[in-house]
Structure 1
Amino acid sequence: MRLIALVFITLFAFSAFADDMPAVDLDGLLKEVRAHDAKTMVVFWAPWCPFCIRELKILRNNPQFATNNNLQIIGLTKRNDRRAAVNFVKKQKMPFRFFIAEQDVYDKLQRIDAVPLTVVFSKEGKVLDYEYGKQDIEDLALMLED
């Protein structure tokens, strides 16, 4: 009986954990981008990266930035960083959506060889700008200019 309970708890915990940060392929990411009526900023990040954490906190601490620019913000991380990423997002109460990027996002979008990478998409899904490395709020604002 204990074994059955343990198996049930383990399966339930895994399924609840899996729902916290869903996986997305490139088509799914572009669907999310196109569902928003303005630009989308996607931050490729990792929970072990201090510059990534800094950028995400800047975005979280400046909610007027997204509001004033009618901006959707999405965070993407790799599958092997999932557990730490979910814990970080929950602990820091991040107000935007996060996904686990499937490999085809990295293969098809562009060369992604460092984090943070911040990419701005048009509402049609076209890449408008991208920047590697740490960004301040002023840098992020410049990325949104036409």
Structure 2
Amino acid sequence: MKLRIITLVLAALALPLQAAQAPDFTLKALDGNNLRLAEQRGDIMLINFWASWCGPCIQEMPALDKLAQKYQMLGVQVWGVNVENDSKAALAYLNKVPVGFPVLFDVDNSVSKAFQVEAMPTTVIVDKNGAVRSVHRGYQPGYEKKYENDIKGLLRE
């Protein structure tokens, strides 16, 4: 009996885990265009949920900008999703510290709720097929190396 249970457990562990599909969304970007996640299939997506009142979010932005520049030509996109109901503070921050990646505005928090964002910042990495492959909550200097490792792994697939 024990051997049979062990065999069943080992067989279950050998099955590939199915990653959950990222919720599709469309949001208005800083440049005025609407961007839809589902239209980005074929690219690896790093989606960073942030707020201007969040110190670690602000600290992380330049590192995200460097990642965006480094991997853009390899089919990796970085999107910043601001979760504030009033985007004035975010716009003021972006005027002082501009970034090259799209910044979108989730003023009703529907997208952050769909992604179950519970901490600021939250970074979600979505593979080329639209599946969520990793979620990172919070930020400390050096976390960008984790994101980069995730991206490199997905580029090798």
Q: Partner amino acid for 2:102?
A: R
Q: Helix, strand or coil: the match of 1:142?
A: helix
Give the superposed CA RMSD. 2.7
Assess, with a 3 A threshold, how the Cα gap between structure 1 residues 23 and 118 changes in structure 2: closer, same or farther.
Answer: farther
Contact 1:130 1:143 in 2 (8 A): no
Query: What is the deviation of 1:21?
Result: 6.2
> Does residue 1:20 correspond to 2:30, yes or no?
yes
Task: Quote how far apart the aligned CAs of 1:62 are.
Answer: 4.9
Gaps of 5+ in 1: 1-17
TM-score when scaled to structure 1? Answer: 0.69
Give the number of aligned pairs: 123
* CA offset digits 1:100-132 (Å, max 9, x no partner): 1243213322x2111110000122321111101
Counterpart check, 1:84 vs 2:96:
no
Matched-pair contact (CA < 8 Å) for 2:29–2:103: no
TM normalised by structure 2 equals 0.65
Structure 2 vs 1, CA of residues 68 and 49 (structure 1 numbering), >3 Å: closer, same or farther? same
- Stretches of structure 2 that go unaligned for 5 or more consecutive residues are 1-27
- Which structure: larger Rg? 2
- Report percent identity of matched pairs: 24
Report how far residue 82 of structure 1 moved.
0.7
CA–CA separation in structure 2 for the residues paired with 1:104 and 1:91: 27
Higher relative contact order (CA 8 A, sep 6+): 1
Asked if 1:48 corresponds to 2:57, the answer is no
Deviation at 1:38, TM superposition (A): 1.7
